[in-house]
């Protein structure tokens, strides 16, 4: 059985009793849901504690874009009204409008993309598929490195994930796959994740130390600015694939740092 980890994007944890313990199938599905309300991760955590409701996802995304962990990724959540689906899916409840089409705020949608990318990377998935229908999807056996998107409404008489999100499944699959595969940089080019730029080296060194202490190794690169004066850039990583740099930037943002991607010559 695979060794599972939980996402580093998590901001809040409250494990629900509504789960079946260790999943019996490797992760090869992602099932996003709509909450039908602009809930917080704390509010969702309280809601998913109830054994009467008997529901909890692996993750939730609050209205402010923060991520909650409610069932460990190693375990089968109670979320899609289908044991077969939940044994192999990572389920994600997302704050949404309370009325159809149950639209998401932009910050929630962007975090959903980032979270799915992270889930895929940690589970060896390099391609996310949207096959367009229940029959095609449930009859398809994902190949190594693949995962498919599934919908709650396929397994129960539910509106979830709602027209707004379901209409974006194709976009989600395409965006996530592009980030996962990225595409190699032109010869001689690397992608670095920049978290700060300073005119004073001592300030740059102090900030680099702060970032490193949070678990992100850094370097300080000296460059000439437009006025000829030195700029000290605090940067993390050196990636030949842009998608990997984007995923790393998402982790830095989740840790509270501003992060942008910079292309540099080797």
CA distance 21 to 133: 29
Q: What is the pLDDT of residue 122?
A: 92
Residues 128-172: tens digit of each pLDDT: 999 999 999 999 999 999 999 999 999 999 999 999 999 999 999
Tokens of 122: 């940690």
**CA nearest neighbour of 16 among 65, 77, 82:** 77
Residues 217-234: what's their mean pLDDT? 85
* Cross-strand pairs, 61: 67, 94
Residues 259-264: what's their mean pLDDT? 83
Q: Are 28 and 88 in contact (CB under 8 A)?
A: yes
**CA nearest neighbour of 220 among 245, 259, 194:** 194
Q: What is the pLDDT of residue 215?
A: 87
Residues 202-230: what's their mean pLDDT? 87
CA distance 262 to 195: 10
Q: Where are the domains of the chain?
A: 12-181, 189-265
CA distance 220 to 234: 5
Residues 48-77: what's their mean pLDDT? 94
DSSP 197: E
Architecture (CATH level 2) of domain 189-265: 2-Layer Sandwich (3.30)
Q: Are 129 and 142 in contact (CB under 8 A)?
A: yes
Asked if domains 12-181 and 189-265 share a fold, the reply is no
Q: Are 28 and 138 in contact (CB under 8 A)?
A: no
Q: Are 46 and 68 in contact (CB under 8 A)?
A: no
Please tell me the least confidently modeled range out of 39-48, 187-196, 229-238. 187-196
The mean pLDDT of the chain is 91
Tell me how crowded residue 151 is: count the other CB atoms within 10 A of its CB: 21
CA distance 195 to 206: 13
Q: Top-level CATH class of 12-181?
A: alpha beta
């Amino acid at each position: 059985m695979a060794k599972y980890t939980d996402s580093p994007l998590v901001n809040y944890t409250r494990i629900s009793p509504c789960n079946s313990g260790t999943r019996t199938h490797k992760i090869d599905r992602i099932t996003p849901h709509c909450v039908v309300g602009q809930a917080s991760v704390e509010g969702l955590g309280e809601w998913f504690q109830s054994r009467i409701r008997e529901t909890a996802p692996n993750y939730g995304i609050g209205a402010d874009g923060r991520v909650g962990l409610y069932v460990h990724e190693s375990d089968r959540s109670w979320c899609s009204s289908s044991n077969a689906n939940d044994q192999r899916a990572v389920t994600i409840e997302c704050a949404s409008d309370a009325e159809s089409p149950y639209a998401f705020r932009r910050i929630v949608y962007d975090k959903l993309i980032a979270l799915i990318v992270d889930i895929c990377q940690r589970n060896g998935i390099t391609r996310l598929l949207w096959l367009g229908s229940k029959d095609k999807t449930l009859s398809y056996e994902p190949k190594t490195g693949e995962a498919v998107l599934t919908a709650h409404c396929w397994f129960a008489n539910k509106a979830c994930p709602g027209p707004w999100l379901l209409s974006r499944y194709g976009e989600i699959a395409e965006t996530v796959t592009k980030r996962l595969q990225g595409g190699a940089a032109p010869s001689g080019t690397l992608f670095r994740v920049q978290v700060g730029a300073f005119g004073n080296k001592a300030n740059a060194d102090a900030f680099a130390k702060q970032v490193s202490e949070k678990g992100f190794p850094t370097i300080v690169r000296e460059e000439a600015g437009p006025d000829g004066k030195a700029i000290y850039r605090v940067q993390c990583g050196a990636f030949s694939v842009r998608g990997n740099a984007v995923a790393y930037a998402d982790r830095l943002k989740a840790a509270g740092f501003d992060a942008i991607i910079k292309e540099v010559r080797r």
